[in-house]
Structure 1
Amino acid sequence: MPPNATPVNATVFACGNPPMAAEEHAVMARAFAEERMMKNTQVNAEIPTVNVYFQVLASSEKPEDGWVADDLLQKQMDVLNDNFNKHGIKFQLAKTIRTINETWARGQDINFMASQLRMGSYSDLNIYLHLNLTGGAAGVCTIPVPVNGAGTYNFDGCQILTSSLPDDAPYTGLNDGKAGVHEVGHWFGLFHTFENGCNSPGDYVDDTPSEALPPGRGCEIRNSCPGQPGNDPIHNHMSYTGSDCHTEFTLGQQIRMHNQWAVYRAGR
């Protein structure tokens, strides 16, 4: 998880996941080469229904202080299932844990928070709900890595703003639940579509066209990498266009998520 910083309210979609480090590039390059070799068989490992633990962090039992009602959490579950079910991934609510702690609600001291609160195994998804997050992000999430002791488990999970949950208010640029879809995509091993910008190998998925960093917010068709095939994947959940633009994962991303599950999370 990223280091603590002064939290800022996010009013549009933004993700706190940084570009890949050199060692992550090395791991993904190997995985990418292996997946290229398996294209003819289209390996698509089965993923059992994923248990979700909602961790609500609030400063009081008032909605304005981060206390989230069960019906709003169910709406977020519905958004996750609506967008992942078509790719062979299903979620079920395992438990909701509510903790009153203003420091954690404000997105601070999150490493200690996760070490105290995380539940389940490495194949279980913990979603932490905060009033604020580092640097104005709407969310941030870990990617699958080889399990190496308790720390791998403790710091695994996704953090999203309570203001990104899907509610019945007019669309604010964030409150449609899509920030959660984007972050859970990371949890399954996907990177931003603009990873590496216009340079190969991009996000290590063949069927997501290259996209320069950073993309614009609107949903208009564009090609920020002239001379390379395809327009920017503005409708992809792993892009940075507004969340109202996000409607899809590609087949390549689906295969990546299933393979990453089989290698890193299944049975752990």
Structure 2
Amino acid sequence: MPGSETRPLAGVQRSFGVLEGHQGYKVSLRSVYKERGQSQPRIKFGHGVEFLYGKILDTQTAASMLPRKNLPLRIVALLPFCAAVDIIRCGTQDPGRTLVDIVRSFAGNKKCIKAAPYYRPPKIAVDTYIHVVVSSEDRKEEPPESKLKEQMDVLNQGYAPTGMQYRLRGIDRTVNATWSNGDDQAKMKKRLRKGDYKTLNLYYLERLTAPGLRPRAILLGHCTFPSTVTEKSADFFDDGCRMLISTLPGGVIPATAKVNFDGKITVHEVGHWNGLFHTFMGGCDETLGGDLICDTPAETQVDNRPAPKSSGCPAGRNTCRNTTGPSVAGADAIHNYMNYYNEWVLTREVGGLD
């Protein structure tokens, strides 16, 4: 459609570490990129990657995609302390029906999911801008640039096996008490957003809001799913991921749980930006089968609230023992970044990009 722009797709990326012994390939969706009127059905991706029934036809990187002063280990959250506060990991809403249907169509086509063993994902560089919004001038230099670059290192380490890398193109800082509190976000994004729809925009705020969030709850992250948008439309400007400043590496929220962060909330939210679902979406349903990624075992939803390290790591947890849907059987993918387990548990790449 003239004047419209689509979110690029990450392409087919190798699965690793989601379930030991399963070295399948997954499809990550960013959108249907172009229509060229070919006689054979094709799956079109942004970033110049195109597939015909899962076979790579061509890969290229668009020219536009070319590729200290530290905080203490405890970055004190820029939030008022209050007892009995709910800490909510992810506020991203369920994906729309269109995106779910596209993912389901890929899940039913194993040629799109299973690639040759010698396949290596193409190198993809995603232009990335970081926007830090704080409430007062005395916080304008918080967090320091070194901490933001450390976050980018964590993001790139998480996605390295997929061939995707996020190239930091700029950092800007804004003092606005309203925006930093999670209010008037549409105006904030319209003012700050940079690049086209293939460009990742990361916003770090002192507080986040999301539909249905309780007034005293602390939300850690929220991101948009890909869709077809018209350039400069409200959906175009809304595109991007918002995270709490205190989720940067070394951060801590001084609330009841005393949760420490390693920067993986951003990895999780960027997964949504790439069109990835939570691993537990759809639960044990035979049709939905979790996140619709064939080699991610289906599972039921885990607690959305982070917990201290003393809570342990539930290795071997299996909440969908009798699933017959598109997902394989097996233990829950507790190490997958698109799950809700705590950061020291999340050590393996996201489904659909991994």
TM-score calculated relative to the size of structure 1:
0.81
- Residue 38 of structure 1 is matched in structure 2 by 112
Deviations 1:75-95 (A, max 9, x none): 101111111112211122101
- Residue 349 of structure 2 is matched in structure 1 by 249
- Answer whether contact 2:222 2:242 (CA < 8 A) is retained: yes
2:313 corresponds to 1:219: yes
2:325 corresponds to 1:232: no
Amino acid at match of 1:224: T
- Residue 66 of structure 2 is matched in structure 1 by none
1:106 to 156, 176, 181: 181
Deviations 1:211-242 (A, max 9, x none): 10234765212112232311111111000111
2:201 corresponds to 1:201: no
- Residue 80 of structure 1 is matched in structure 2 by 155
The structure with the greater share of residues assigned to helix is 1
Which residues of 2 match residues 134-145 of structure 1 at below 5 A? Answer: 134=209, 135=213, 136-145=218-227
Q: Which of these two proteins has the greater Rg computed from alpha carbons? A: 2
**Shift of residue 17, structure 1, vs aligned partner:** 0.8
- Answer whether contact 2:321 2:330 (CA < 8 A) is retained: no
- Residue 133 of structure 2 is matched in structure 1 by 57
Which residues of 2 match residues 10-49 of structure 1 at below 5 A? Answer: 14-34=89-109, 36-41=110-115, 46-49=122-125
2:192 corresponds to 1:117: yes
- Return closer, same or farther for 1:249/1:61 CA change in 2, 3 Å cut-off: same
- Residue 30 of structure 2 is matched in structure 1 by none
- Residue 267 of structure 2 is matched in structure 1 by 181
**Shift of residue 69, structure 1, vs aligned partner:** 1.2
**Shift of residue 126, structure 1, vs aligned partner:** 0.5
- Residue 16 of structure 2 is matched in structure 1 by none
- Residue 262 of structure 1 is matched in structure 2 by none
- Answer whether contact 1:118 1:154 (CA < 8 A) is retained: yes
**Shift of residue 100, structure 1, vs aligned partner:** 0.7
SS of 2:89's partner is coil
State, as a whole percentage, how many aligned pairs show the same letter: 34
The structure with the greater share of residues assigned to strand is 2
Count of residues paired in the alignment: 246
Deviations 1:156-192 (A, max 9, x none): 1110000000137799424210101100111111110
- Answer whether contact 2:251 2:262 (CA < 8 A) is retained: no
- Residue 167 of structure 1 is matched in structure 2 by 250
SS of 1:19's partner is coil
Q: Distance in 2 between matches of 1:126 and 1:208?
A: 28
- Residue 3 of structure 1 is matched in structure 2 by none
SS of 2:353's partner is helix
- Return closer, same or farther for 1:76/1:160 CA change in 2, 3 Å cut-off: same
2:193 corresponds to 1:94: no
Q: Distance in 2 between matches of 1:13 and 1:244?
A: 17
- Answer whether contact 1:60 1:66 (CA < 8 A) is retained: no
SS of 1:138's partner is strand
TM-score calculated relative to the size of structure 2:
0.63
Deviations 1:106-133 (A, max 9, x none): 1111122111210011111100001111
- Return closer, same or farther for 1:115/1:47 CA change in 2, 3 Å cut-off: farther
